[in-house]
């Protein structure tokens, strides 16, 4: 069984994907981490993530980089969003994601184009979102808890900027697949969001031939 979990930044899709993977006993891939690695490697190379050639060169990052805590930094997320607009970067990482999705037994993948590009044949697709203000509030709280001194307005501006890049890029823009469940968790806690997602996935499982 393949489960695709898409959505914008700070929507909670990563947490939900891990919960679904644990529930169904499936491997999980945070595809955004691949793009974060590219963005961060571009910086390590003293390149510019807005430059397609620099970003493509960074796709040859070592696997060990995926374990670097720096990939979780807010600044790295911005680098990833900028690097991911380049079609050549997306093509370079495409097969790696497809192979993970199509492994025996299935998998859970979260990202921005899983249900539309990476695994359009997924058995269950979810599009997880929340209002920009709520997503910024969550991200701001997380950053403050880590000791990052940043204003809410700055976080909200970054959320809007990343949404614009993700939905506006020419190649594989962020969008809801036509057969994906829309899960707006603006007013939901994690338990309620998980319950709604599980009910949908179980329904899709029963509908499988």
The 10s digit of each residue's pLDDT in 59-103 is 999 989 999 999 988 889 889 989 988 999 999 999 989 999 999
Q: Is the pLDDT of residue 206 over 90?
A: no
Structural domain range at position 107: 2-198
Confidence of residue 171 (pLDDT cuts 50, 70, 90): confident
The 10s digit of each residue's pLDDT in 110-156 is 999 999 999 999 999 999 999 999 999 999 999 899 898 999 999 99
The 10s digit of each residue's pLDDT in 10-46 is 999 999 999 999 999 999 999 989 999 999 999 999 9
pLDDT of residue 8: 95
pLDDT of residue 194: 97
Question: In this structure, what CATH number is given to the domain that contains residue 189?
Answer: 3.40.50.300
Query: Is 69 domain-assigned?
Result: yes
172 versus 35: the higher-pLDDT residue is 35
Least confident segment among 51-60, 100-109, 167-176? 167-176
- Whether the model clears a pTM of 0.75, i.e. scores above it, the answer is yes
Q: Please state, in angstroms and rounded to a whole number, the distance separating the CA atoms of residues 61 and 19.
A: 28
Q: Please state, in angstroms and rounded to a whole number, the distance separating the CA atoms of residues 79 and 87.
A: 16
- pLDDT mean across residues, the chain: 94
Q: How many domains does the chain have?
A: 1
Query: Is 85 domain-assigned?
Result: yes
Query: Is 205 domain-assigned?
Result: no
Query: Is 206 domain-assigned?
Result: no
Query: Is 209 domain-assigned?
Result: no
Query: Is 125 domain-assigned?
Result: yes
Q: Is the pLDDT of residue 209 over 90?
A: no
Q: Please state, in angstroms and rounded to a whole number, the distance separating the CA atoms of residues 117 and 123.
A: 14
Q: Please state, in angstroms and rounded to a whole number, the distance separating the CA atoms of residues 198 and 16.
A: 10
Q: Please state, in angstroms and rounded to a whole number, the distance separating the CA atoms of residues 147 and 143.
A: 6
Strands 28-30 and 124-129, bridge-based pairing: unpaired
């Amino acid at each position: 069984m393949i489960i695709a979990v898409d959505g914008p930044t700070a929507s909670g899709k990563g947490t939900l994907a891990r919960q679904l993977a644990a529930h169904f006993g499936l491997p999980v891939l945070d595809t955004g981490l691949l793009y974060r690695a590219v963005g961060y490697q571009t910086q390590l190379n003293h390149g510019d993530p807005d430059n397609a050639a620099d970003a493509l060169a960074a796709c040859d990052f070592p696997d060990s980089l995926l374990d670097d805590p720096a990939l979780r930094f807010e600044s790295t997320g911005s680098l990833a969003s900028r690097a991911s607009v380049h079609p050549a970067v997306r093509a370079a990482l495409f097969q790696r994601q497809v192979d993970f999705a199509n492994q025996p037994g299935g998998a859970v993948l979260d990202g921005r184009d899983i249900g539309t590009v990476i695994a359009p044949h997924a058995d269950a697709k979810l599009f997880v979102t929340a209002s920009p203000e709520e997503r910024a509030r969550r991200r701001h709280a997380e950053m403050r808890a880590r000791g990052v001194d940043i204003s809410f307005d700055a976080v909200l501006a970054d959320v809007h900027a990343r949404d614009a890049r993700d939905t506006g890029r020419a190649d594989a823009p962020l969008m809801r697949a036509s057969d994906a469940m829309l899960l707006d968790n603006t007013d939901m806690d994690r338990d309620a969001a998980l319950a709604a997602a599980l009910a949908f996935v179980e329904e899709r499982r029963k509908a499988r031939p």
